[in-house]
Amino acid sequence: MNDIQRRAVAAGFVHALAQSREALTEWSRLSKSDPALVGMFIQKTLGLAIAPSTEDLATMSSYIQSDLQAQVKAVQERDADVVNHAGTIALMQQD
């Protein structure tokens, strides 16, 4: 993916979590320590042709941390049970 696509996917994913309680619940239960699993979940949720790579996920995470915190906060406020999980896409950076 190029940077524009990564930003669009990141914003779309946060939006999808805000719009779908089912997606938000599934996301909150998903292990965030496996980039392949996270990428497949994003792919499934957004209907992407391919899953985001580890590099894509790291770039998307940085974008969410720097530019989408208001949207993440809105998702977190939607359901107190997932407050600690809704924004964890921002924690997927790989060392």
Q: 70 pLDDT exceeds 90?
A: no
State the Cα–Cα distance between residues 31 and 61, nearest whole angstrom: 16
How many domains would you assign to the chain? 1
Confidence of residue 77 (pLDDT cuts 50, 70, 90): confident
Three-state SS at 10: helix
Q: Residue 85's pLDDT is what? A: 41
Three-state SS at 49: coil
Query: If residue 88 lies in a helix (H) or strand (E), which one and from where to where?
Result: none
pLDDT digits (tens, 9 = 90+) for 13-69: 999 998 998 999 999 899 989 999 999 999 999 999 999 999 999 999 999 988 888
Q: Residue 78's pLDDT is what? A: 73
pTM: 0.79
* 80: containing domain: 3-91
State the Cα–Cα distance between residues 40 and 28, nearest whole angstrom: 15
- Among candidates 78, 91, 68, which has minimal Cα distance to 13? 68
